[in-house]
C-alpha cells in the first residue's frame, strides 16, 4: 500500500512532483522515489513496505532493459502463483509483487489484468513508445485521480496531491448540489471538484501520441451471468473454500497482520475463519472501537466472540472531545465528504494498529452487497441512505438556482431482477465506492494497509450470481452465509439481525458538540451562496429542540464547511 503521483507533459518538474508526494507522504513513510525524463514525464512514489522490505522493492521500478518504469499502489495477492508462471521466461531480481506486476504487463499486456487477484492502481511508462498505461482494480479499492492541466496529464492517489501540484481547487457544483439534495456522492468517474476525475473501477487508460483512451477491462455483469449457469454439488463447502483461500492470500505480508472486529455476522465469520487458519495463535491482534455508550457499542458481542480464541483484543476509544480536531484533519485528507463520526471512530483502529506495529488489517467489507444483507433489498422503495424515518437530506435548505444544478443520473439496471440491480448499484455506484474511499484514506492516514477478503472477486461474483433463495430464506437474509458461519459460531451470532455500525453521532452533534456544530453550520450559511440561511438555521434550531430523528444532513453541513472553508 503506497501512494503514486505523476505528470505527463511539459508541466512535469521535480519541484511539482515533490510537492505532490509531500501532500500524500502519509501513504508511504518508508521511502520516496522520483523519476524524470527529459521534460516528458515525472513519476513519483511514496512507499509503505509490506512485501519485500528491502531497498530492492523501492519504486519507481524499472525493467532490466530500462524500457518500462512502474509506480504501483496496492497488493497483488496471487503474486507468488504469477511469479512461478513468469519464472519460466524471466529471472526475478527481487521478492516484490511490483516486479511480478511489471513483468506480467510486459508478458501479457492489457491481458495481465484478468490474471490479477488484488487491489491496485498503477502506472507504467514505456520509454520506446512514449506511452503511459494505468489501471485500477475491479472494485476500485485503490484510488486513481487525474486532471488535464497546462497541456499536461496529472495523476495521484489523493486529491490534495493534485492541488499541491497546482491544479485549481474549484468545487463542482453539480456534484455538491446532488449530494445535498439526494445524498449521492457522484458517479464512478466524478469527484466533488471541477476538472478532477477518477479512473473508474475495473478500467484502464492509455496516453500516447495518438491521444488519451479510457477502456473497461472488468466485465462484472458478463461474469456473473455466466456463473448463473454454474453450480456445485456442495455450494456451502465451495464458498467456504473460496473464503479460506481469500483470507490465506490476504495474510501474505512481511509485516504483522491483524483484523478489525465488530459484533456483526461478517466480522464474526472473518474472526472464525482467521482462527481456523491460525489455531491457538496469540500473535494476530484484533482491534475494535467503542464510545462508552451502551446504546451503540458492540463490545459485549466482540468480547464474547474473541473469548473463544487466543487473539489479543485492542479496544480503541473515541470521545466526543476528539471529534472536532479529527474532523478537521480528515476533511483535509479526504477532500470530499465522508461518512460521519463512525468513520472517525474507525480511524482510531488504524491509529492503534500502527502503535502496536500491525501494518496490515483485514475487515469484513463487501459481504452485505454480494450476499444481499440490507433490509431495503426486500422492501419497497429505492433508498440509498438507510436507517432513518425522516428525509436524510434537506433539499429545501438550498437556494433554487443552486438546487437546479443537481444532476439526477440514473443507475444502470443490467439485470432482469430488481434485487440484482440494487446489489449492482451498491457494488459499483453507491455503498462500496464511498466506503472504500473513506476506508482507504483513514487507513493510509496512519500508514497502515486495509484488506477486504469478502471483496475477493471470485467470492463476490459467485455469491452475487446465486438465486434469491440462496441469499434470503424464511425471512433470514444472507442465509447461506449464516449457514456457513454456523459451522464455527453459535446461534447468538449467526441468527442475530444486522446492526448498523454506529456511534452517538446524533446525540453528540446536538449535545456535547453543539457549539462546535453550530459554529460550522453558521459559517457555511454565511459563507456559501448555495444555502438559504434562514431555512438552514431553522433546521438546526429544530434539531436542537428535539427534531433529531437523523443527523445525516447536520453532518453533511459540518463536514462540508470543513472541506470548503478549511
**Of 281 and 458, more confident:** 458
Q: How many CB atoms lie within 10 A of CB 395?
A: 14
Query: In this predicted structure, what is the pLDDT of residue 264?
Result: 82
Band (107; pLDDT cuts 50, 70, 90): very high
The burial of 38, by beta-carbon neighbours within 10 Å (0-12 exposed, 13-18 middle, 19 or more buried), is given as exposed
Separation in Å, CA 220 to CA 75, 78, 371, 464, 498: 21, 20, 15, 10, 27
Give the model confidence (pLDDT) of 520-562 as tens digits.
999 999 999 999 999 999 999 999 999 999 999 999 999 999 9
DSSP string of 154-206, one letter each residue: EEESSHHHHHHTT----B-HHHHHHHHHH-----TT--SBTT-EEPPTTEEEE
**Mean pLDDT value of segment 480-491:** 79
Question: Do strands 313-317 and 286-290 pair parallel, antiparallel, or not at all (unpaired)?
Answer: parallel
Q: Quick one: what percent of the chain has pLDDT higher than 90?
A: 81
Give the model confidence (pLDDT) of 362-380 as tens digits.
999 999 999 999 999 998 7
**Mean pLDDT value of segment 459-482:** 91
Q: Quick one: what percent of the chain has pLDDT higher than 70?
A: 96
d(Cα 35, Cα 291) in Å, to the nearest integer? 46
- The model carries a pTM of 0.95
d(Cα 160, Cα 334) in Å, to the nearest integer? 8
Is residue 27's pLDDT more than 70? Answer: yes
Query: In this predicted structure, what is the pLDDT of residue 229?
Result: 79
Is residue 79's pLDDT more than 80? Answer: yes
Is residue 335's pLDDT more than 80? Answer: yes
Strands of the sheet containing 197-198, edge to edge, are 31-37, 41-47, 2-8, 152-156, 145-149, 197-198
Band (387; pLDDT cuts 50, 70, 90): low
Give the model confidence (pLDDT) of 126-149 as tens digits.
999 999 999 999 999 999 999 999
**Of 38 and 445, more confident:** 445
**Mean pLDDT value of segment 45-74:** 94
Q: HSE-up of 257 (CA within 13 Å, CB side)?
A: 18
Query: In this predicted structure, what is the pLDDT of residue 499?
Result: 53
Query: In this predicted structure, what is the pLDDT of residue 278?
Result: 84
Query: In this predicted structure, what is the pLDDT of residue 372?
Result: 93
Query: In this predicted structure, what is the pLDDT of residue 263?
Result: 78
Give the model confidence (pLDDT) of 273-332 as tens digits.
998 888 777 889 999 999 999 899 988 889 988 988 889 999 999 999 999 999 999 999
Give the model confidence (pLDDT) of 249-279 as tens digits.
999 999 999 999 987 888 889 988 998 888 7
What are the structural domains of the chain?
2-218 (3.60.20.10), 221-379+393-406+417-494 (3.40.50.620), 505-564 (no CATH)
Band (488; pLDDT cuts 50, 70, 90): confident
DSSP string of 364-409, one letter each residue: -TTHHHHHT-SGGGGSSS--SS-S-SS-SS-GGGB-HHHHTT---P
Mean pLDDT, the chain, whole residue set: 93
Query: In this predicted structure, what is the pLDDT of residue 265?
Result: 86
Query: In this predicted structure, what is the pLDDT of residue 475?
Result: 87
The grid coordinates listed for 180 are 445535498
Q: In the annotation, is 2 catalytic?
A: yes
Q: Are 355 and 444 in contact (CB under 8 A)?
A: no
Amino acid at each position: 500500500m503506497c501512494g503514486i503521483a505523476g505528470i505527463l507533459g511539459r508541466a512535469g518538474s521535480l519541484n511539482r512532483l515533490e510537492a505532490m508526494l509531500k501532500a500524500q507522504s502519509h501513504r508511504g513513510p518508508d521511502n520516496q522515489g522520483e523519476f524524470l525524463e527529459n521534460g516528458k514525464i515525472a513519476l513519483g512514489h511514496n512507499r509503505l513496505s509490506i512485501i519485500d522490505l528491502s531497498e530492492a522493492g523501492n519504486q519507481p521500478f524499472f525493467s532490466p532493459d530500462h524500457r518500462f518504469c512502474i509506480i504501483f499502489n496496492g497488493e497483488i495477492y496471487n503474486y507468488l502463483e504469477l511469479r512461478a508462471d513468469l519464472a519460466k521466461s524471466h529471472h526475478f531480481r527481487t521478492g516484490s509483487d511490483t516486479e511480478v506486476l511489471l513483468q506480467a504487463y510486459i508478458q501479457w499486456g492489457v491481458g495481465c489484468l484478468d490474471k490479477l487477484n488484488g487491489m491496485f492502481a498503477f502506472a507504467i511508462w514505456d520509454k520506446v513508445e512514449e506511452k503511459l498505461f494505468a489501471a485500477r482494480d475491479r472494485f476500485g479499492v485503490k484510488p486513481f485521480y487525474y486532471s488535464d492541466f497546462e497541456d499536461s496529464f496529472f495523476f495521484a492517489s489523493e486529491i490534495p496531491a493534485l492541488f499541491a501540484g497546482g491544479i485549481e481547487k474549484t468545487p463542482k457544483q453539480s456534484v455538491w448540489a446532488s449530494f445535498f439534495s439526494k445524498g449521492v456522492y457522484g458517479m464512478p468517474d466524478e469527484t466533488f471538484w471541477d476538472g478532477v476525475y477518477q479512473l473508474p473501477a475495473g478500467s484502464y487508460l492509455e496516453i500516447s501520441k495518438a491521444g488519451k483512451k479510457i477502456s473497461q477491462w472488468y466485465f462484472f455483469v458478463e461474469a456473473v451471468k455466466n456463473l448463473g449457469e454454474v453450480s456445485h454439488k456442495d455450494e456451502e463447502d465451495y464458498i467456504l473454500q473460496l473464503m479460506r483461500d481469500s483470507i490465506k492470500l490476504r495474510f501474505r505480508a512481511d509485516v504483522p497482520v491483524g483484523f478489525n472486529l465488530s459484533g456483526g455476522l461478517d466480522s464474526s465469520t472473518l474472526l472464525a475463519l482467521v482462527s481456523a487458519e491460525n489455531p491457538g495463535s496469540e500473535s494476530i491482534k484484533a482491534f475494535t472501537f467503542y464510545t462508552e455508550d451502551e446504546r451503540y457499542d458492540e463490545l459485549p458481542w466482540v468480547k464474547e466472540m474473541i473469548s473463544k480464541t487466543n487473539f489479543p483484543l485492542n479496544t480503541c476509544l473515541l470521545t466526543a472531545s476528539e471529534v472536532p480536531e479529527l474532523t478537521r484533519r480528515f476533511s483535509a485528507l479526504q477532500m470530499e465528504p465522508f461518512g460521519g463520526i463512525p468513520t472517525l471512530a474507525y480511524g482510531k483502529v488504524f491509529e492503534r494498529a500502527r502503535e502496536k506495529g500491525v501494518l496490515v488489517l483485514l475487515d469484513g467489507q463487501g459481504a452485505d452487497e454480494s450476499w444481499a444483507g440490507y433490509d431495503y433489498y426486500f422492501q419497497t422503495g429505492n433508498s440509498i441512505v438507510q436507517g432513518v424515518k425522516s428525509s436524510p437530506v434537506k433539499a429545501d435548505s438550498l437556494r433554487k438556482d443552486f438546487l437546479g444544478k443537481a444532476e439526477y443520473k440514473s443507475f444502470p439496471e443490467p439485470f432482469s431482477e430488481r434485487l440484482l440491480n440494487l446489489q449492482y448499484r451498491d457494488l459499483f455506484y453507491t455503498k462500496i465506492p464511498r466506503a472504500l474511499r473513506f476506508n482507504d484514506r483513514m487507513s493510509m492516514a496512519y500508514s497502515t494497509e486495509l484488506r477486504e477478503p469478502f471483496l475477493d472477486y471470485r467470492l463476490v461474483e459467485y455469491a452475487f450470481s446465486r438465486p434469491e433463495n440462496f441469499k434470503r430464506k424464511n425471512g433470514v437474509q444472507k442465509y447461506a452465509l449464516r449457514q456457513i458461519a454456523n459451522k464455527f459460531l453459535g446461534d447468538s451470532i449467526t441468527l442475530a439481525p444486522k446492526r448498523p455500525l454506529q456511534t452517538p453521532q446524533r446525540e453528540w452533534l446536538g449535545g456535547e458538540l453543539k457549539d462546535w456544530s453550530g459554529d460550522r453550520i453558521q459559517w457555511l450559511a454565511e459563507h456559501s451562496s448555495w444555502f438559504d440561511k434562514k431555512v438552514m438555521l431553522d433546521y438546526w434550531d429544530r434539531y436542537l429542540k428535539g427534531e433529531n430523528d437523523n443527523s445525516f444532513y447536520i453532518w453533511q453541513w459540518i463536514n462540508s464547511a470543513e472541506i470548503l472553508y478549511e
